[in-house]
Structure 1
């Protein structure tokens, strides 16, 4: 077992936000050129908990094609709305009673066998729940280039969920996470255009660690420690500029005994880099998350509680979720006071490949569970390793392990297809295929409304471009 020690007094300060940032929404007109309006696959939600609650609001005859505006189609939509609402109420009631009993299964103890096709209602609701936590990392980020706090979180840690309309989520943020990079990751950093008095020139807020409340712990059947990572906010074309060469995990400070376990250099640099001159990234994102998780695991296991660690992220955030989950287990801080080990699971959305075949073997061999939610038309999950990956014959992969472009996905894949959804309008814009809200919308509608006529298409609205790789 590798020891992991950092000063107990280690603290990452938070930027003090002024009154101009107290609002819950930024003016899209202030967003930079990389954050432009796009025709989304779905309407923008007014709150981060709106996916389940706003289904009927999105299915409106105002947006129906003219062929669907007759009485028969209007009646059909009304019936579907009623059926959907009743089904959700029943699912919610049953979820509260069964989640505590089934949480290990939902967290992948059996590799989600029999739960994906058809989609298990409880798993679907949990995926949406964790997806909302990943989405909150975008919704809380300060994109405003004219704000002195650009690149930070818009809200104080204690008010984070309430400011985003998620006050009833049942979690409390215990630490914000900040990252820096000594390499030139393409357009990762968002900086203020103000020349002075900005909160930081070297750090960006990238996520948070949170813990379930007492009430939520009772409902979930265990104390859940949540880690949520933000992806970059830039155009999809940057995928071509990925630093897709591999580094040994052990060379980056992750105590892996096998030097052939390698991870993508850009991801691991962002995870492990630090800047002693910056108070927000004096410690690396890795040190921040490991210190906080260790503290929480010890705190809750000392009370005799059963603990789980759930890690979620979208796009680049998915890669960081995979790395941090692997690191937590490799270091061994998921072990409690009495030696009992917390179950750890990654719920990944639109994530790229992170490491080579040996990384996949090591990751899965340590017992880490990962469920990857992917839109089949999205480009990001296909990189790096476009040509040599987990899908090529085993012998070819073995021969290519020595090359820097051999990658493998980890875990179990859940494939979605927006073109099969009667509630999403197709678009030729590939950036929309990667949108996190579109993935959550697809999950919400999975395995329902199969009886819709093929010509009933719900039209779309314009929304802001969020959550791109």
Structure 2
């Protein structure tokens, strides 16, 4: 197929041709026109002389296959090699997580430190997602139970508010986008760890039992990481509701507003700490509420969350979880250990230890024995990032770049351009 190096349209098809060395795309990066946010597929390589280009194709495949991409069949046959339409969806949700980082006020000298920098009505527009078709309907805050030492008050750069803005809820309200997606989609997006209080909560890694209203089966003992549960359930009386209370209130509002719609989805996404919160949020809402629409988690670089009973209940509730994992990212291998976990053992995870079945049963309720959840899209940055660069291996930008360029594990793990100097230069300039 030969193609012009320009935006082109027909009555059934439109696309954009770009050089094969382009960085991972976003509406803000392309900045083309009101229709470019609908680009979802990478297809049909073409040649212009000796150069290569990529054609982006937007047909009605997404609307017809959206349940597949949301995990109705556990992404069977879509991950290795990675389906191009699913790739586009993963990158699209990754942009919502990027927006959560971009909206956060990182300036510790500012009076608005740890809050959202923008009002809800302009939040997505400010982060280049003004044409995404979504609007923000709720800000989300997480509160830490750990108290920072008083002596840290003498060091302004180390201050850490007890409660911080951590993400948002957005609803797709553009009819064209709803038609393209095949349903109305609700996104819950979380950023990762930022404040010192959150880091301290991350260090509380022992498993703890879930409260009664999150543990419906008395015969099982769902447990999750202590610090994670604390951030999800802690509130400041008379000042700040817990993240759990806010989420539950918003789910009730969503069900009241859209319960009569035939096609509806809830997609919960996040990076690092946000990935763990996304999984816990999905567990909570699917345990608390009946007759929910399809609930899917897309997590980037997330740590482990809970034990086998937690995973069992998550699966019983019908929640679909896709974990995007960089095998060179140590955060995805902590906290705790995984013992005799068949879902992980077949992947050759070095953290898995084989024990006799009787001992395995005895160890299930130990406060440090975790279980992996969901389906895994396994990536690797080892050919592109020097050893010891943990921050770059874990960074969300690295994850999105790897997703965009992943081919398959058996043939060519990444497109050839990712291995060259330009990829390393890209990482150095953006992280």
Q: Which residue of 1 aligns with 2:265?
A: 308
Asked if 1:260 corresponds to 2:221, the answer is: yes
Asked if 1:296 corresponds to 2:254, the answer is: yes
> After TM superposition, which residue ranges in structure 1, 4 or more long, deviate above 6 angstroms?
42-48, 189-192, 448-451
Deviations 1:214-272 (A, max 9, x none): 2221111111111011111379xx69962111121135x42533351111110011000
CA offset at residue 447 of structure 1? 1.6
Separation (CA, whole Å) in 1 of partners of 2:31 and 2:389: 25
Q: Which residue of 2 aligns with 1:15?
A: none
CA contact (8 A) 2:24 2:404 kept: no
**Aligned match for 1:376, one of 309, 321, 327:** 327
Deviations 1:253-300 (A, max 9, x none): 42533351111110011000000142xx2x110110111122112211
Counterpart mapping for 1:16-415 below 5 A: 49-50=28-29, 82-84=52-54, 86=55, 89-90=56-57, 93-94=58-59, 97-184=60-147, 193=156, 201-213=161-173, 214-233=175-194, 242-251=203-212, 253-258=213-218, 260-278=221-239, 281=240, 283-302=241-260, 304-332=261-289, 335=291, 341-386=292-337, 388=339, 390=341, 391=345, 392-393=353-354, 395=357, 396-415=359-378
Q: 1:310 to 1:406 in 2, by over 3 A?
A: same
Deviations 1:201-223 (A, max 9, x none): 43200100110122221111111
CA offset at residue 83 of structure 1? 2.1
Separation (CA, whole Å) in 1 of partners of 2:286 and 2:418: 47
CA contact (8 A) 1:153 1:205 kept: yes
Separation (CA, whole Å) in 2 of partners of 1:435 and 1:191: 31
Consecutive unaligned residues of structure 2, counting only runs of 5 or more, are 1-20, 33-46, 346-352
CA contact (8 A) 2:114 2:161 kept: no
TM-score normalised by the chain length of structure 2: 0.78
Separation (CA, whole Å) in 2 of partners of 1:438 and 1:256: 38
CA contact (8 A) 2:270 2:298 kept: yes
State which drifts further: 163-172 or 387-396.
387-396
Q: Which structure is richer in relative contact order (CA contacts within 8 A, separation 6 or more)? A: 1
Consecutive unaligned residues of structure 1, counting only runs of 5 or more, are 1-41, 54-75, 336-340
Bigger strand share: 2
Separation (CA, whole Å) in 2 of partners of 1:249 and 1:167: 38
CA offset at residue 191 of structure 1? 13
Separation (CA, whole Å) in 2 of partners of 1:127 and 1:224: 14
CA RMSD of aligned residues (A): 3.5
CA contact (8 A) 1:51 1:441 kept: no
Q: 1:114 to 1:261 in 2, by over 3 A?
A: same
Q: 1:182 to 1:160 in 2, by over 3 A?
A: same
TM-score normalised by the chain length of structure 1: 0.72
CA contact (8 A) 2:272 2:302 kept: yes
CA contact (8 A) 2:276 2:303 kept: yes
CA contact (8 A) 1:239 1:380 kept: no
DSSP-derived class of the 2:370 partner: coil
CA offset at residue 170 of structure 1? 1.2
Q: 1:419 to 1:227 in 2, by over 3 A?
A: same
Q: 1:245 to 1:454 in 2, by over 3 A?
A: closer
Q: 1:46 to 1:325 in 2, by over 3 A?
A: closer
Q: 1:257 to 1:430 in 2, by over 3 A?
A: same
